[in-house]
Amino acid sequence: MSNLASNPNQSCTKQAASVDFDGFASVLSVERATGVCYRLNPLARWSTYNNVPPVLKIEEPYGEMQAWPADAWGECHAVDLHELFSEGKLK
């Protein structure tokens, strides 16, 4: 799975994930939850423009990864993290 897929709507393997949602999500966790690959660049540009830095989260098996704010996901990729990771949505 590549964060820089040539087709932003390229299908990725959808996997149920156990996520402790705090308003930020990594590209990997969103890809796992939706089965869609997303580009990192729009999220990074959004964070720079809005002066909202990503936070670091542990993603198994890769270790520390950058997690991007819910507002960035909504504006850049039309993904509602609150709906996606609300309790009971993922098992």
pLDDT by residue for the chain (91 residues), tens digit each? 344 444 455 555 444 444 457 899 999 999 999 999 999 999 999 999 999 999 999 888 889 999 999 999 999 999 999 999 886 554 4
Length of the chain: 91
Give the pLDDT confidence score for residue 17 in this predicted structure. Answer: 45
What are the DSSP E strand ranges found in 5-54? Answer: 24-26
* Centroid of chain to Cα 83: 13
pTM to 2 decimals?
0.74
Give the pLDDT confidence score for residue 22 in this predicted structure. Answer: 84
Q: Is residue 89 part of a domain?
A: no
Q: Is residue 17 part of a domain?
A: no
Residue 48's domain comprises 24-82
Q: Is residue 53 part of a domain?
A: yes
Distance CA 49, CA 87 (A): 31
In the chain, the number of structural domains is 1
Q: Is residue 65 part of a domain?
A: yes
Give the pLDDT confidence score for residue 20 in this predicted structure. Answer: 59
